[in-house]
C-alpha cells in the first residue's frame, strides 16, 4: 500500500475546544498518544474516568469497574452498579432542559416533526405505561419493527424504562424474518408502524407485522404507530394503537449494570441469525464515550447517521446523541428521492453538524456530481462519520472535500453488532490520512496478528482484541458455545473479529472480511483491494469481487461491475478492467471474468452482500438474505454470470 497524503490536519489549538481535549486537560495528559496508551494499559482507570467526566448517572454506584473472575469472554463491567439507559439518554435531560429540542424527523413525503426533551420523555412514558398495563415486565423481550420515526426512539426508551429488552428489527424484513427473531428471543410484544414511505411508495409494515405476530404464540401485544394515520384497526385483541404521551411520568426502573438492554440480530453466513446481547451499563458508557470523543458530540450538536434501527448504528446514534444531550435527526426514506439532492437538502434544513454515512452510499451518490451537494448550505457540518465498508481514495476525498469542504474530519469507525461499538476510530484531535481508521479506539486493546498469532506491521493480518471492553456482547442469545467458538476459539483470551487489517506508518486500514478472502494459486487477496482498482476507472460506479472455484488455481477472481452512465459494458471494457487489475496487483490476480450488472445486492444500509453474489454464481445456499433491499439485484447478478 502506498502512503497517501494527509487529509485532515487539526489546527494547533483545535484540541482544547473538543471533548477529548477537555478530558485530557482534566487529567493532566499532554498528548492524545499518551491518553490512548494509558486508556489501553489501564482500562479500569479510563472507563471509571469516562463515567465521571460525562456524568453518566448510576442510581447505585458500582463497587468494581471490571470483573473477569468468570473468564475474559464473560467479563462484567461496573459491578454492583445500578442504572437505566433511559435515564441517561432522556429523563435527566427532560428534567434539566425540558423545552430544548431532542428529536427532529423528516419523512420522505416532506412531513417534519420536532420533539422537545419533555415530549420525548412523555411519549416514552406513554409506551412504558401501556406495556406495563399489558403485563410486560423486567427481562421481557419486545420487538421494535419500525422505520426511523420519533416514536421508534421513544419505543427503545420506553422498553428500557421497564427493564424489558428491546429487539431492534430491520424495517425491510419480511414476515418470516421478523417472526424468526421474535420467536428466538421469546418476544411478548411488538411495536410497529402502520407503514412508511420509501421511493414514493407506501411500505405496509403493519400487515407484515401481523403476519409475523400470528406465528409467535407467546406474543400478546402488538402496538401500531399511526405513521400513515391508520393506527390499530385489525380487530385482533392483541393489537392496540400507539398510546401517545403519558398523563403522569413513569420512573425508569433501576437495574443491575449487567441487566439486558437489547438483543441485536446479525445475519450469519448460514440461515440462522445471531442475537448479540447488550446490557445497560457497558453499552451506555461505551457508546456515550464514542459519540463524545470520536465525533465530539455536545448538547449544541445535531447528529444524523443514515441508518436503520435494525443495524447497530441505529441504537448507536440514539444512545450516542441523546446521552450527550444532542439533538437526534431522523430521516424516513431514500437518500436520493425524489431527487439526487435529497440527503443534502435534509442536512441543510435541519442544520446537521455531525453526519454519518457508508462509503458505499457515497459511491452511489458521487455519479450525480458535485452540483447537488454545492446547491445546499452545509456550513453547519463539522464532523463527518463513516462505517460499514472499506473506503477507496476517490470517494473518500469527495466526501472530505466536496461534502465537508475540506474542513471536517472523516471519523471512519469500525466495530460491529457483537462489538457493540468500535474497535478502530480516528479522533478529531489527530491527523487523519485518507481511508484510514486512525488507530485503536480509546480503551481498546486491538492488534493485527499473523497466522501464528504474532503482531505484525506493514502487512495484512487478522484484526483482534486482547482485552475486554464495556460494550462487548454478553454472548449470543441462547447459544454460549457458538459465541465462544465464533470469537474466542483461535487464540486463548483473544477476540478474533473476522476482518483483515493492516498498520502502515501508524495508520490502520481495513481490507474486508477475512471470510471473504480469496485464495488464488496460494496467494491471498481481499476483495476490497481488487474493488478499489476497479472503481478508480472512470467507467465504473461500483464493483464487487468474489472467488469462484477453479480447477487450476483453486479460486479465480470474478468481478461484477456496475458501469457508469454512458459507458459501453462490452468485451473491450471487460478486458481493459482485467488488464488494469493485473497491472496494479500483479498478473496472478488478473480476473478470470468481468461481468456487468445494473445493481449489486445490498442491504438498505448499503453493505454489499458478497456471499449472495458468490452463491448466485456457484449455486450455493446464500444464507440469510432477509436484510437484502432489492432481491432483483441477486437475479441480475445471476443473469450477468450466465447462470
* Mean of pLDDT values over 481-504: 94
Question: Does the structure show a pLDDT above 80 at 239?
Answer: yes
The Cα–Cα gap between 11 and 108 comes to 39
| Cα 252 to Cα 93: distance, rounded to the nearest angstrom | 14
pLDDT of residue 522: 65
pLDDT range class, residue 524, cuts 50, 70, 90: low
- Look at residue 559 in the predicted model and tell me its pLDDT: 96
Stretch 341-362: mean pLDDT: 96
**pLDDT given for residue 154 in this prediction:** 98
Predicted confidence band of residue 550 (pLDDT cuts 50, 70, 90): confident
**How does residue 235 score in pLDDT terms, banded at 50, 70 and 90?**
confident
| Cis omega (within 30 of 0) for bond into 313 | no
Question: Of 184, 143, 187, whose CA–CA distance to 274 is shortest?
Answer: 184
Predicted local confidence at residue 5, as pLDDT: 66
- Secondary structure (3-state) at 346: helix
3 state SS of 611: helix
How high is the pLDDT of residue 444? 98
Per-residue pLDDT tens for 365-418? 999 999 999 999 999 999 999 998 788 888 999 999 999 999 999 999 999 899
Tell me which residue has cell 502487512: 459
Least confident among 283-292, 382-391, 493-502, 514-523: 514-523
**How many whole angstroms separate alpha carbon 137 and alpha carbon 153?**
19
Per-residue pLDDT at 2 exceeds 70: no
Answer yes or no: is pLDDT of 333 > 50.
Answer: yes
* pLDDT value at 480 more than 90: yes
> Positive or negative, the Cα torsion across 86, 90, 94, 99?
negative
495-504 and 461-465 beta bridge pairing: antiparallel
**pLDDT grade for 527, boundaries at 50, 70 and 90:** confident
Q: Which helix (H) or strand (E) holds 92?
A: helix 92-96
Give the other-Cβ count within 10 Å of 593's Cβ.
16
Average pLDDT over residues 559-570: 94
CATH code linked to domain 518-640? 3.30.300.30
- Write the burial class of residue 229 (CB in 10 Å: 0-12 exposed, 13-18 middle, 19+ buried): exposed
pLDDT at residue 587, as a whole number: 81
Q: Which of 27-31, 49-53, 491-495, 535-539 has the lowest mean pLDDT?
A: 535-539
Quick count: other Cβ atoms within 10 Å of Cβ 461?
A: 21
Q: How confident is the model at residue 236 (pLDDT cuts 50, 70, 90)?
A: confident
Most confidently modeled of 281-285, 436-440, 478-482, 638-642? 281-285
Model pLDDT for residues 571-606, shown as the tens digit of each residue: 999 999 999 998 888 787 899 999 999 999 987 667
Q: What is the mean pLDDT of the chain?
A: 93
Amino acid at each position: 500500500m502506498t502512503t497517501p497524503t494527509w487529509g485532515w490536519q487539526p489546527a494547533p489549538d483545535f484540541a482544547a475546544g473538543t471533548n477529548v481535549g477537555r478530558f485530557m486537560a482534566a487529567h493532566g495528559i499532554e498528548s492524545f498518544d499518551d491518553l490512548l496508551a494509558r486508556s489501553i494499559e489501564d482500562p479500569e482507570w479510563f472507563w471509571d474516568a469516562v463515567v465521571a467526566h460525562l456524568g453518566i448517572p448510576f442510581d447505585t454506584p458500582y463497587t468494581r469497574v471490571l470483573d473477569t473472575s468468570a473468564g475474559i469472554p464473560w467479563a462484567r463491567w461496573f459491578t454492583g452498579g445500578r442504572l437505566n439507559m433511559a435515564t441517561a439518554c432522556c429523563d435527566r435531560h427532560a428534567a434539566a432542559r425540558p423545552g430544548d429540542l431532542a428529536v427532529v424527523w423528516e419523512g420522505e413525503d416532506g412531513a417534519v416533526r420536532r420533539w422537545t426533551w419533555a415530549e420525548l420523555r412523555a411519549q416514552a412514558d406513554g409506551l412504558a405505561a401501556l406495556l406495563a398495563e399489558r403485563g410486560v415486565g423486567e427481562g421481557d423481550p419486545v420487538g421494535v419493527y419500525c422505520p426511523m420515526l420519533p416514536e421508534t426512539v421513544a419505543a427503545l426508551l420506553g422498553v428500557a424504562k421497564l427493564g424489558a429488552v428491546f429487539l431492534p428489527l430491520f424495517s425491510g424484513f419480511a414476515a418470516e424474518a421478523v417472526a424468526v427473531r421474535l420467536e428466538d428471543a421469546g418476544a411478548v410484544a411488538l411495536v410497529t408502524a402502520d407503514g412508511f414511505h420509501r421511493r414514493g411508495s407506501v411500505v405496509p409494515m403493519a400487515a407484515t407485522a401481523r403476519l409475523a405476530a400470528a406465528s409467535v404464540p407467546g406474543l400478546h401485544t402488538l402496538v401500531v404507530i399511526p405513521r400513515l394515520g391508520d393506527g390499530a384497526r385489525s380487530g385482533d385483541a392483541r393489537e392496540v394503537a400507539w398510546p401517545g404521551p403519558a398523563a403522569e411520568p413513569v420512573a425508569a426502573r433501576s437495574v443491575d449494570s449487567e441487566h439486558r438492554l437489547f438483543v441485536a440480530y446479525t445475519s450469519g453466513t448460514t440461515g440462522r441469525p445471531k442475537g448479540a446481547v447488550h446490557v445497560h451499563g457497558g453499552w451506555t458508557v461505551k457508546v456515550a464515550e464514542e459519540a463524545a470523543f470520536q465525533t465530539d458530540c455536545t448538547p449544541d450538536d445535531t447528529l444524523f447517521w443514515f441508518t436503520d434501527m435494525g443495524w447497530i448504528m441505529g441504537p448507536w446514534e440514539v444512545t450516542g446523541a441523546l446521552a450527550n444531550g444532542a439533538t437526534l435527526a431522523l430521516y424516513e426514506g431514500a437518500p436520493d428521492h425524489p431527487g439526487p439532492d435529497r440527503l443534502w437538502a435534509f442536512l441543510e434544513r435541519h442544520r446537521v453538524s455531525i453526519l454519518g454515512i457508508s462509503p458505499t452510499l457515497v459511491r452511489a451518490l458521487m455519479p450525480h456530481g458535485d452540483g447537488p451537494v454545492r446547491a445546499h448550505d452545509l456550513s453547519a457540518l463539522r464532523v463527518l462519520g463513516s462505517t460499514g465498508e472499506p473506503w477507496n481514495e476517490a470517494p473518500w476525498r469527495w466526501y472530505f472535500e466536496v461534502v465537508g469542504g475540506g474542513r471536517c474530519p472523516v471519523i471512519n469507525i469500525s466495530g460491529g453488532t457483537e462489538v457493540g461499538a468500535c474497535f478502530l476510530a480516528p479522533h478529531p484531535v489527530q491527523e487523519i490520512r485518507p481511508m484510514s481508521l486512525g488507530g485503536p479506539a480509546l480503551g481498546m486493546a486491538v492488534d493485527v496478528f499473523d497466522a501464528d498469532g504474532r503482531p505484525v506491521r506493514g502487512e495484512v493480518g487478522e484484526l483482534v482484541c486482547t482485552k475486554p471492553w464495556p460494550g462487548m456482547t454478553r454472548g449470543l442469545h441462547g447459544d454460549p458455545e457458538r459465541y465462544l467458538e465464533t470469537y474466542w476459539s483461535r487464540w486463548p483470551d483473544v477476540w478474533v473479529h473476522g476482518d483483515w487489517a493492516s498498520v502502515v506508518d501508524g495508520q490502520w486500514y481495513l481490507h474486508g472480511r477475512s471470510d471473504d478472502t480469496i485464495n488464488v494459486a496460494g496467494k491471498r487477496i481481499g476483495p476490497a483491494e481488487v474493488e478499489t482498482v476497479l472503481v478508480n476507472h472512470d467507467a465504473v460506479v461500483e464493483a464487487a469481487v468474489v472467488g469462484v472455484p477453479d480447477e487450476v488455481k483453486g479460486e479465480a477472481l470474478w468481478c461484477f461491475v456496475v458501469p457508469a452512465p454512458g459507458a459501453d459494458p462490452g468485451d473491450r471494457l471487460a478486458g481493459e478492467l482485467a488488464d488494469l487489475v493485473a497491472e496494479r496487483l500483479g498478473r496472478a490476480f488478473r480476473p478470470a471474468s468481468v461481468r456487468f450488472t445494473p445493481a449489486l445486492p445490498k442491504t438498505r444500509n448499503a453493505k454489499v452482500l458478497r456471499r449472495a453474489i458468490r452463491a448466485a454464481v456457484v449455486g450455493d445456499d446464500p444464507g440469510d438474505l432477509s436484510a437484502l433491499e432489492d432481491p432483483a439485484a441477486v437475479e441480475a447478478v445471476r443473469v450477468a454470470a450466465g447462470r
